[in-house]
Amino acid sequence: MADKEKKKKKKSVKEEAPAEAPAPAAADKGSSRGSRKAKRSGSNVFSMFSQKQVAEFKEAFQLMDQDKDGIISKNDLRATFDNLGKLASDAELNEMVNEAPGPINFTQLLTLFAARMSGGSDDDEVVIAAFKTFDKDGKIDSEQLRHTLMTWGDKFSADEVDDAYDQMVIDDKGFIDTQKLITMLTASAEEEEEGEAA
């Protein structure tokens, strides 16, 4: 008998649930700001990082904000570099501060990190310099590059390296033409289309 009573209670709770469901929707209707806020949160820079990453960035921000005013200024950057035992010129510090469209508060710093991490802000010079470090007489040893890609930084898996190598021309001795690789990586979409048409 006890089992039948439990089933009846579960059934009555299930029957009540649909009647309760519209109540939150009605509350949302009265507060359209809440629903708009939820829609916007997808573009929120904080949603791009895990809570652990945000905490780490916050800690780094606090270390860099030497005067504790909530903004990283040129003087804050200079002091940070001094604490690290590195010298930075005025031009370098100005360039760093000017990367942001306004004062560098914590949200702005996260936005800069997000842009860097998305890969969209790698200048061609950075790509060229990176691959020139592997260059020997105009060629890159594909096995040395494979080892590097799978060992340091954002490590590639073997499949990811294979996928990348499928896009490259590797000669029968296992070497990649440095200039062709750089051209492939730095060419705009229009240049690539022109190259394919030729």
Q: What is the pLDDT of residues 43-54, one digit of tens each?
A: 577 888 888 888
At 185 the pLDDT is 82
Residue 110: pLDDT over 80: yes
Which of residues 38 and 66 earns the better pLDDT score? 66
HSE, CB side, 13 Å, CA atoms: give it for residue 129: 5
pLDDT band at 5 (very low <50, low <70, confident <90, very high): low
Residue among 154, 67, 160, 80 at smallest CA distance from 117: 154
pLDDT band at 19 (very low <50, low <70, confident <90, very high): very low
Which of residues 186 and 169 earns the better pLDDT score? 169
HSE, CB side, 13 Å, CA atoms: give it for residue 79: 12
Kindly state the helix (H) or strand (E) to which residue 51 belongs, with its residue range: helix 51-64
pLDDT band at 187 (very low <50, low <70, confident <90, very high): confident
Taking only the tens place, the pLDDT of each residue in 51-98 is 888 898 899 999 999 999 999 999 999 999 898 888 889 999 999 999
Kindly state the helix (H) or strand (E) to which residue 95 belongs, with its residue range: helix 90-98
Residue among 66, 69, 73, 62 at smallest CA distance from 104: 73
At 192 the pLDDT is 46
Mean pLDDT confidence for 22-27 = 42
CA distance 34 to 31: 6
Share of the chain above pLDDT 70, in %: 70
Taking only the tens place, the pLDDT of each residue in 119-159 is 554 567 877 888 888 889 999 999 999 998 898 877 889 99
Residue 169: pLDDT over 60: yes
Residue 31: pLDDT over 90: no
Q: Which pairs with CB-CB distance under 8 Å and at least 24 residues apart come from 84-90?
A: none
At 4 the pLDDT is 53
Q: What angle do CA 156, 176, 143 make, to 5 degrees?
A: 45
pTM, 2 dp: 0.41
- What is the token pair recorded at 79? 């002091």
At 188 the pLDDT is 52
At 186 the pLDDT is 79
Q: Domains of the chain by range and CATH?
A: 2-37 (no CATH), 50-117 (1.10.238.10), 124-187 (1.10.238.10)
